Structure 1
Amino acid sequence: MFHFFKKKTHKKLEINLHNNSMIINGTSLSFPLSLKDIEAILGKPDQVVKKENKFIKYIYDNAGIVFEHSFSIKNHLKKSKTYIDEEHLISTVFLYYGDVVKSMTGEKELPKQPCQAVVLSDGKSPYFFSDRHRVGDFNLILWTPYGTNFNGIAETITDTLSISYFPEIKNERESYKLKETDEEVLHFENINFKLAIIQVLMYDLEVLKPVFNIFDFAEEFSELDIDTESMEIIQPALDHFEKLQIPKEYAQHVQEIYMDGGNEIYLNLIPQWDGEDETFDLNEVGVEELRQFPNLEEATIMSSNFKQVKAVFDEAGIDVELL
């Protein structure tokens, strides 16, 4: 028999996702969550791991589950009008399935036992396409071995599953036709660095508009026959970002860069990207590119050439670490 939490229950967990709620053994939790919400059903976590200004992880060892309180989700919650307060920033749940608990991306904050919970999507086993599934306001990702993908109904889950609350932001439609500007603009030699800056200005801060949405873009430029379920870079979208002019005055707003596989900029370029390859790695950047941003103080980057890139950031006086 599976023992979830000795003080609470010996019953095997059933997790059903519906709209913005996670129903655990019949009790509904509405996202975003607070620790008190979770403890009311599961009791106190076995481990609490904090990384300043990044995350707090609440780990349930015997259940094989980790709840993540993420500071970076706050802006998105505010823009989607679902923000409650600083306590309600738990937006992602990790369920570590398999014979043994295995790290997905090198993380060390792991439960001691594998997960055995049954996960349902609106009462049914979820259907995954290229490891991904969307139900209500939740994004689900199966972290299958590198180079493989799962397609179909997942009645039995054997790979780590992440469940992220990511409500849609409603924006008024604007044309994506590019316009020339007489203003001074920023200059980029490396497209992956430019994409990281666009993530900050367009999606995190929303000062660079219109906010790009691949579905709206495909509708406006229907003659391009864009595949919005693509597993490869959508070239017309990348061309758009390469040509996009960014006014120099916006540079002052960039204080931090945080590159992550779930960033909106990447999912609008490769809608089915799983974040497990080096497509968007920042492997080259110039000192002069960095010095365009006078208030940029720290960066967390994806890179397979980190040592050399770090030397450039160091020269520009910017703290940088590898994701």
Structure 2
Amino acid sequence: MIALHLSSKGFQINSETITFPVSIDTLKQCLNDDVKIFKRKFNTIFTWSDLGIMAYSKDGNVAESITISLCLDTHNFSPKQVFSGIFYYNNQDIVRYYKSHKQQHVKLFKGDDSGALVENGISACFSKEDDCICAIQINNYIPYERGAGLPEDKYIIKPLNEDILIFEDFGFKLSVIEELMYIKGLMEPVFDLFEFADWYKARDIDIDEEGYEPIAEVTQYFKDLPIPKRLASEITDFYQDGGNDIYMNLCPFSGGAVEYWDIETAIDAKQFPNLKKVTLCYATDAAYKEFEQLGIETEWL
């Protein structure tokens, strides 16, 4: 029986300590010589079919990772048997430990909703389908760095050395941002919710969980965002729709039928001398009448 252990001592196969990358010859000694080789375009896969184990190699000589199959798959390189040995994490069954210690799951990449167990520089990453664990991949642990590649100050709001517009109504401001940022490209950076969540370090913003309601940090960003007064003349009309980029970045899964961003007053329109027409779906009846009273062509979506 194959015995795998991941602990403070490292990763072991039948008491043999394995470090990555590991030579294929070492794996043959630890497992057996009955291995099938599948050469692919970018790597070579070594499959111990009867053991439910695979090793992935870039150069065909050393393996960067090992995968333990817990479910049968249909790929030609997949093992014909699932792993029937034992796999312990700190002397406990690794699957049971993983399921009962969610607070110890370590995210390995953006969007990783499975997480890994990490010990002594080695990670065990769990592949799941419908809450069933299908495979465990073992390799060197590479810490996930949130926001990697993004400028550290990308979404830090900087004061402007010029006059700015002052808004009484947040919903009105959002419609202006839609026009200036997303349609005309006159404001930078162009806000992207998923990029912002990756960049933001004060806490982990889970868009899949939180995207059904306004996300507080995103709402505050747009409330604080200054708009130069010189851009006021660029606004000639605006068109509200639930699919506007501004709303999709504020609350992507709202479904559109919400009142979070209703324009409650049209008083801010006085700052926009060229505003001639508005199409509304997020506004109160009172605001609608105010637009009309200001001589602005107004219609409901």
Q: TM-score range by the shorter chain?
A: 0.3 to 0.5
TM, length-normalised to structure 2: 0.47
- From the CA coordinates, give the structure whose radius of gyration is larger: 2
